[in-house]
């Protein structure tokens, strides 16, 4: 497993770039959140963006998905410059991007099955109920919750809700998945299972992912490459060992404060 990860890490340069960011700046009044970010995500790669709460990690994915405009810089997703797209083009692009929000964002008034059907019914023209049922069954099996279709989200544990959130994300077969704090609020064992699931999704779907987290165990387990965001800039990047092999007190402090093996 470790060999494969290192191998992936070294061959990224030859791969297609699915997200490219150059010279990205974003401020809110006096708060300079992103200060000159350069970043590439390659096809099939899991990149972790690591940083403390409030360091601008979530702002970064909002900009990537066109929910927020940058003050300066160029953001290209699947070859398209996000902030030059028309409303319709942006909607089309977003169908190729899957989001897993920090709070699984399931609709409490719908069963698990209805939650999973919703994006298909809303976005896929001329899809039959039979095709929908098949897709729902596939993603529920993929996240290990085949028997929960008729349950309500409130009947599920936090970890199960997170899994259903992942199922709803992958049912649209996105090319890019953005995970916002996927393990937040979960106990260590459930976090461990979610990390495994993120890797499994990458392996099976060949999607490219950005995983926003401040959980070092998550970063270590899921990241082919890790970028450390401090004071609005990426101060370190590489695999887990490379990122933390530094004398930089800001990086070491983050490690000491956070790491539970």
- If one counts every other C-beta atom within 10 angstroms of the C-beta of residue 28, the result is 11
pLDDT at 101: 78
Average pLDDT over residues 172-193: 92
Q: What is the mean pLDDT of residues 217-233?
A: 93
| Cα dihedral 157, 208, 66, 56 sign | positive
Pull the structure tokens for residue 181: 């704090």
Q: Output the pLDDT for position 9.
A: 45
The pLDDT confidence band at residue 134, using thresholds 50, 70 and 90, is very high
Out of 2.40.30.10, 3.30.1370.30, 3.40.50.720, 3.40.50.300, select the CATH number for domain 43-67+86-258.
Answer: 3.40.50.300
Answer yes or no: is pLDDT of 208 > 50: yes
Who's near 31: CB < 8 A, 6+ residues apart?
A: none
Residue 230 tokens read as 């401090």
The answer on pLDDT for 11 being more than 90 is: no
Supply the pLDDT for residue 248. Answer: 87
Q: Is the pLDDT of residue 8 over 70?
A: no
Q: Taking Cα atoms as reference points, which of 99, 173, 110 lies closest to residue 139?
A: 173
pTM recorded for the entire structure: 0.88
Residue 241: burial class (beta carbons within 10 Å; 0-12, 13-18, 19+): exposed
């Amino acid at each position: 497993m470790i060999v494969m990860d290192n191998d992936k890490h070294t061959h990224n340069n030859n791969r297609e770039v699915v997200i490219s960011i150059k010279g990205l700046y974003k401020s809110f009044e006096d708060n300079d959140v992103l200060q000159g970010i350069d970043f590439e995500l390659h096809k099939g790669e899991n990149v972790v963006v690591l940083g403390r709460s409030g360091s601008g990690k979530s702002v970064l994915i909002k900009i990537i998905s066109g929910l927020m405009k940058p003050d300066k810089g160029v953001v290209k997703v699947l070859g398209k410059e996000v902030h030059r797209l028309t409303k319709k083009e942006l909607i089309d692009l977003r169908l190729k991007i899957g989001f897993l929000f920090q709070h699984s964002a399931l609709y409490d008034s719908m069963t698990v099955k209805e939650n999973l059907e919703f994006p298909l019914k809303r976005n896929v023209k001329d899809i039959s109920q039979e095709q929908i049922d098949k897709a729902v069954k596939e993603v529920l099996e993929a996240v290990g919750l085949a028997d929960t279709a008729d349950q309500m989200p409130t009947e599920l544990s936090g970890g199960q809700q997170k899994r259903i959130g992942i199922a709803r994300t992958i049912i649209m077969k996105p090319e890019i998945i953005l995970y916002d704090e996927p393990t937040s609020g979960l106990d260590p064992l459930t976090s461990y299972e979610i990390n495994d699931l993120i890797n499994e999704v990458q392996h099976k779907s060949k999607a490219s992912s950005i995983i926003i987290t401040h959980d070092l165990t998550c970063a270590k387990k899921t990241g082919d490459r890790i970028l450390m965001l401090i004071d609005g800039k990426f101060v370190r990047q590489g695999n887990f060992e490379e990122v933390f092999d530094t004398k930089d007190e800001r990086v070491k402090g983050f490690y000491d404060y956070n790491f539970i093996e």
